[in-house]
Structure 1
Amino acid sequence: GGWYDAGDHVKFGMPQTYSASTLGWGYYHFKDAFQSAGEDQHMLDELKWFTDYFLRATFRNASGNVVAFAYQVGEGSVDHTLWAPPELHNLPRPAYFATSATPASDQAAGAAAALAIMYLNYNTVDAVYAAKCLDTARALYAFAKANRGLGYSGGFYGSSYDEDELSWAAVWLYRATNDAAYLTDITAVDGTGHYTGWLKKIIASTSDNWQNIWVHSWDTVWGGVFLELAPITNDPKHWYYARWNLEYWSGAPHVDPTDNTFLAGTPAGFKVINTWGSARYNAAAQLQTLVYRKYTGRTDFTDWARGQMNYIMGNNPMGYSYIVGYPSPAQSAQHPHHRAAHGSTTNSMSDPPNHRHVLWGALVGGPDTTDLHVDTTSDFVYNEVAIDYNAGFVGA
Structure 2
Amino acid sequence: MRTAVAQSLAALVALVDLVPTTHAQITPQQIYQPPPASSGAVSQQQSNLTNGVNPQYTDLLGNALWFYEAQRSGALPSNNRVSWRNSSCENDGSLNNTDLSGGYYDAGDYIKATYPFCWTMTSIAWSALSFGSAYSRSSQDAYLDSTLRWGLDWLSKAHSDQDTLWVLVGNPAVDDQYWGGDLDIPGPRSSYSVTRQNPGTDAFASCAAAFAASAYLYSGESGLLPTSPNGANLGGVPSIRNRTYSEALLRHADGLWDLAINSSPRQVYSVAQPVAGQSYPSSDYEDDLAFAGLWMALAKGDASYVNEALTFYPNGTNGFASTNAALNWDRKVAALPVLAVQMAQRNTSLIPNMTRFQTDAELYFDRLTDGKMQYVSQTKGGLYWWSGDSDAASLNPALNAAFIADLYSNFATTSAKTSAYRSLADSQVDYLLGDNSYNGPYIVGQHPNSPQNPHSAMASGGTDITNINNSPPKELHVLYGAVVGGPDKQDRFFDLRDDYPETEIALDYNAPLIAAAVSRIARNVTKDPPYTTSSGSANVASGRPTDAAYPAGKSGGLSKGAQIAIAVVVVVVVLAAVGGVSWWQRERLKWWYRQKKMGL
Structure 2 length-normalised TM = 0.59
- The answer for the alignment partner of 2:301 in structure 1 is 178
- The answer for the alignment partner of 1:157 in structure 2 is 280
Q: Is 1:198 the equivalent of 2:299?
A: no
- The answer for the alignment partner of 2:489 in structure 1 is 369
Structure 1 pair 117–154 and aligned structure 2 pair: CA distance change class (3 A)? closer
Deviation at 1:86, TM superposition (A): 2.2
Q: Is 1:245 the equivalent of 2:357?
A: no
Within a 5 Å distance, the mapping from 1:42-121 to structure 2 comes to 42-60=143-161, 66-121=162-217
Pick the aligned partner of 1:357 from 474, 477, 480: 477
What secondary structure sits across from 1:135 in the alignment?
helix
Which amino acid in 2 is paired with 1:73? V
Within a 5 Å distance, the mapping from 1:320-359 to structure 2 comes to 320-327=440-447, 330-347=448-465, 348-349=467-468, 350-359=470-479
Deviation at 1:235, TM superposition (A): 4.7
Q: Is the 8 A contact 1:215 1:245 kept in 2?
A: no
- Per-residue Cα deviation, 1:239-288 (whole angstroms, up to 9, x for no partner): 22222222333348xxxxxx686931111111121121111111111111
What secondary structure sits across from 2:402 in the alignment?
helix
Deviation at 1:203, TM superposition (A): 2.9
Q: Is the 8 A contact 1:275 1:382 kept in 2?
A: no
Deviation at 1:9, TM superposition (A): 0.6
**Partner Cα separation in structure 1 for residue 196 and residue 303 of structure 2:** 26
- Per-residue Cα deviation, 1:97-119 (whole angstroms, up to 9, x for no partner): 11122211211111111111111
Deviation at 1:39, TM superposition (A): 1.6
Structure 1 length-normalised TM = 0.88
Q: Is the 8 A contact 2:292 2:309 kept in 1?
A: no
- The answer for the alignment partner of 1:30 in structure 2 is 131
Q: Is the 8 A contact 1:365 1:381 kept in 2?
A: yes
Q: Which runs of 5+ in 1 are unaligned?
A: 61-65, 188-196, 253-258
Structure 1 pair 248–40 and aligned structure 2 pair: CA distance change class (3 A)? farther
Pick the aligned partner of 2:242 from 84, 102, 126: 126
- The answer for the alignment partner of 1:210 in structure 2 is 321
Structure 1 pair 126–381 and aligned structure 2 pair: CA distance change class (3 A)? same
Pick the aligned partner of 1:311 from 424, 431, 436: 431
**Partner Cα separation in structure 2 for residue 307 and residue 239 of structure 1:** 22
Structure 1 pair 246–209 and aligned structure 2 pair: CA distance change class (3 A)? closer
Q: Is the 8 A contact 1:267 1:370 kept in 2?
A: yes
Pick the aligned partner of 1:289 from 395, 405, 415: 405
What secondary structure sits across from 1:289 in the alignment?
helix
- The answer for the alignment partner of 1:191 in structure 2 is none
Q: Is 1:278 the equivalent of 2:394?
A: yes
Query: Is the deviation greater in 242-251 or in 99-108?
Result: 242-251
Q: Which runs of 5+ in 2 are unaligned?
A: 1-101, 221-240, 345-350, 517-600
Task: Tell me the C-alpha RMSD between the 2 structures.
Answer: 2.0
**Partner Cα separation in structure 2 for residue 29 and residue 208 of structure 1:** 26
Deviation at 1:209, TM superposition (A): 5.2
Structure having the higher Rg:
2
Q: Is the 8 A contact 1:160 1:219 kept in 2?
A: yes
